[in-house]
Amino acid sequence: MKDMKEKFIRFMQGRYGIDQFSKFLLILGVVVVLLSSFLSRNPVGLVFYLIGWALVIYCYFRMFSRNTSKRYAENQAFLAKTYKIRTFFSQQKNIWKQRRVYHIYTCPNCRQKIRIPRGKGKIEIRCPKCSTTFIKKS
C-alpha cells in the first residue's frame, strides 16, 4: 500500500495535478454520464455518454499533463470566466450561515438593517443610526 503511494507520488512528479478547472470538469462529466443513463434508449443518451466521458478524460489529461504553465493559464481563464457566479454562490452560503446565528431586523424608523444574535429572548434593540428603540424577539 505504501509502495503504491510512493509510486503514485513519483508518477505525479513534474505533472500538473488537480485544480479548480479539473474538479469542475470531473463533476460535470460525472453528471453528464449519469444524465445519459436516463436517456439510454435515445440516441441523445449516447452523445451525452460520450461527452461525459470526454470531460472526465480531459480532467485526467490535465492532471497528468507536464505542460504546467499551459494548464495553469487554462485554470486562470476558467476562474476569471466563472468569477461572478462563484462569488454569487459564496455570498449565498454566507447569508445562510449568518441566518442561522443572527436575525436581521429592519429599523422601523430609518430602514437600517440591524444584526442581532439569535436566542436571546425578548430584547430591546437600539438602532445605531437613528437611536430609535424597538422590542423584538430574537
Among residues 48, 44, 23, the alpha carbon closest in space to that of 35 is found at 48
Nearest distance in Å: CB 115, Zn ion: 14
Site for Zn ion in 91-110 (CB under 5 A): 107, 109-110
User: Contact 114/125 with Cβ under 8 angstroms?
Assistant: yes
Q: Which residues have CB under 8 Å from 55's CB, separation 6+?
A: 25, 26, 28, 29, 32
Among 83, 130, 136, 137, binds Zn ion (CB under 5 A): 130
User: Contact 110/132 with Cβ under 8 angstroms?
Assistant: yes
Cβ distance to Zn ion smaller for residue 99 or 111? 111
Cβ distance to Zn ion smaller for residue 57 or 110? 110
Q: Does 129 bind Zn ion (CB under 5 A)?
A: yes
Which cell is 128 given?
Answer: 445605531
Q: Does 34 bind Zn ion (CB under 5 A)?
A: no
Chain positions contacting Zn ion, by CB under 5 A: 107, 109-110, 112, 127, 129-130, 132
